[in-house]
């Protein structure tokens, strides 16, 4: 029993730890497996590929499913609170990465089966687990979190503009111009204000072209707003991280390699 405890301990280290050598090796292998399995799902959707190597991909798919199933069971066995892990975001993602293959067996086939099969691309989310270990990620997360209020306001304003612009174009151009309803007009407005510009619906009247120009310039200028928000947040966070405070007089704004306080000249420890 104790021995089995020891085994569980060792396995937990390998599976859940990212800092130990064995844990890192495990993560790398897993990462490669995930990417390969996603690639397989993607390639399988290409008609020509499916025709030629569909058989092989099917077998490969079950190999991946088998490996991920073993891994999932190991996680449940080794984790200290199996229930909590199973309910956690990544626990659900792990389950979702194997479920579709099994569900696929029960389905008669056709559209429903296809949907389930494609659900497997969700495995890509498992990659995000690894990303947490990259230093840059935390800064971006903090920046986005800190500016959520401003971003919300920005999107509310943007939605208002898109709604008004879409309704206006629906009036100005109407059915003839392809603006068959306000929703379609709003779709067009979003495509225009984001400077996406598919060109599937375009203004035909002179007034419509004038409104389009105004909308395009608006979108072109206000892209500056979210950019400004994120920029200032990132600078602030980077700033916080890159300056030290003096232990004796407490003055801030020392660069990381400072050895003496720029105010009182006290030597840093």
31 counts as binding a copy of itself under rule CB under 8 A: no
Which three-class secondary structure state does DSSP give residue 267?
Answer: strand
Residues in region 73-112 near a copy of itself by CB under 8 A: none
| Size of site (CB under 8 A) for a copy of itself | 104
Dihedral of the alpha carbons of 253, 256, 262, 266, in degrees to the nearest 10: 120
Q: Which of 92, 93, 124, 178 binds a copy of itself (CB under 8 A)?
A: 124
Cβ nearer to a copy of itself, comparing 82 with 265: 265
Cβ nearer to a copy of itself, comparing 15 with 261: 261
Cβ nearer to a copy of itself, comparing 77 with 260: 260
7 counts as binding a copy of itself under rule CB under 8 A: no
Centroid of chain to Cα 229: 20
79: which DSSP letter?
A: S
Please choose, out of 1-9, 15-23, 90-98, 123-131, the segment that lies near a copy of itself by the rule CB under 8 A: 123-131
Phi first, then psi, for residue 12 (nearest 5°) are -55, -45
Residues in region 173-232 near a copy of itself by CB under 8 A: 180-184, 186-187, 190-200, 202, 206, 209-210, 212-213, 216-217, 219-221, 223-232
Cα separation, 113 vs 96, whole angstroms:
15
Q: Which helix (H) or strand (E) holds 165?
A: helix 148-172
Cα separation, 234 vs 240, whole angstroms:
10
Half-sphere exposure of 229 (CA within 13 A, CB side): 18
83, exposed or middle or buried, with CB in 10 Å at 0-12, 13-18, 19+? exposed
Q: Which of 31, 167, 178, 205 binds a copy of itself (CB under 8 A)?
A: 167
Rounded to a whole number of angstroms, the minimum distance from the CB of residue 46 to a copy of itself is 4
Please choose, out of 6-14, 15-23, 42-50, 67-75, the segment that lies near a copy of itself by the rule CB under 8 A: 42-50
């Amino acid at each position: 029993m104790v021995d089995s405890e020891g085994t569980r301990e060792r396995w937990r280290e390998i599976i859940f730890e990212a800092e130990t050598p064995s844990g890192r090796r495990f993560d790398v292998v897993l990462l490669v497996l995930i990417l390969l399995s996603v690639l397989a799902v993607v390639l399988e959707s290409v008609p020509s590929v499916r025709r030629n190597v569909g058989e092989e991909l099917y077998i490969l798919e079950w190999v991946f499913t088998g490996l991920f199933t073993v891994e999932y069971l190991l996680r449940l066995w080794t984790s200290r609170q199996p229930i909590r892990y199973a309910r956690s975001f990544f626990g659900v993602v792990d389950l979702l990465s194997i479920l579709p293959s099994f569900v696929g067996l029960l389905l008669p086939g056709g559209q429903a089966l296809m949907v389930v099969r494609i659900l497997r691309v969700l495995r890509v989310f498992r990659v995000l687990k690894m990303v947490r270990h990259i230093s840059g990620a935390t800064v971006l997360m903090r920046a986005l979190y800190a500016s959520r209020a401003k971003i919300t306001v920005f999107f509310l304003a943007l939605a208002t503009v898109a709604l008004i612009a879409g309704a206006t174009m629906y009036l100005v151009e109407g059915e003839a111009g392809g603006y068959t309803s306000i929703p379609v007009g709003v779709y067009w407005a979003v495509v225009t204000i984001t400077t996406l510009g598919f060109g599937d619906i375009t203004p035909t009247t002179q007034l419509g072209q004038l409104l389009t120009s105004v909308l395009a310039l608006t979108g072109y200028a206000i892209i500056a707003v979210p950019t400004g928000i994120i920029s200032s947040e990132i600078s602030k966070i980077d700033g916080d991280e890159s300056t030290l405070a003096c232990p004796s007089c407490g003055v801030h704004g020392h660069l990381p390699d400072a050895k003496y306080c720029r105010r009182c000249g006290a030597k840093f420890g």
